Amino acid sequence: MKIDIKATNIVLTQEIKNIIEEKISPLEKIVQSLYSPEYISPSSGKVKSVPKAWFEVEKDKKGPFFRAECQLSFAGKSVRSEATSDNLGKAIVEVKNELQKMLKREKEKVLKKRRRSKE
What pLDDT is recorded for position 28?
A: 85
48 or 109: whose pLDDT is higher? 109
What does the buried/exposed string (b/e) look like for 88-119 if buried means 16 or more CB atoms within 10 Å of the residue's CB?
Answer: beebbbbbbebbbebbeebeeebeeeeeeeee
Q: What is the DSSP letter of 106?
A: H
Q: Which residue has the higher pLDDT, 12 or 62?
A: 12
With a threshold of 0.75, does the pTM exceed it? Answer: yes
| Model pLDDT for residues 66-93, shown as the tens digit of each residue | 999 999 988 778 899 999 999 999 999 9
79, 72 in Cβ contact below 8 A?
yes
Q: Please, what is the angle between helix 14-24 and helix 88-118, to 10°? A: 20
Q: Which amino acid is at 93?
A: V
Domains along the chain with CATH numbers: 2-118 (3.30.160.100)
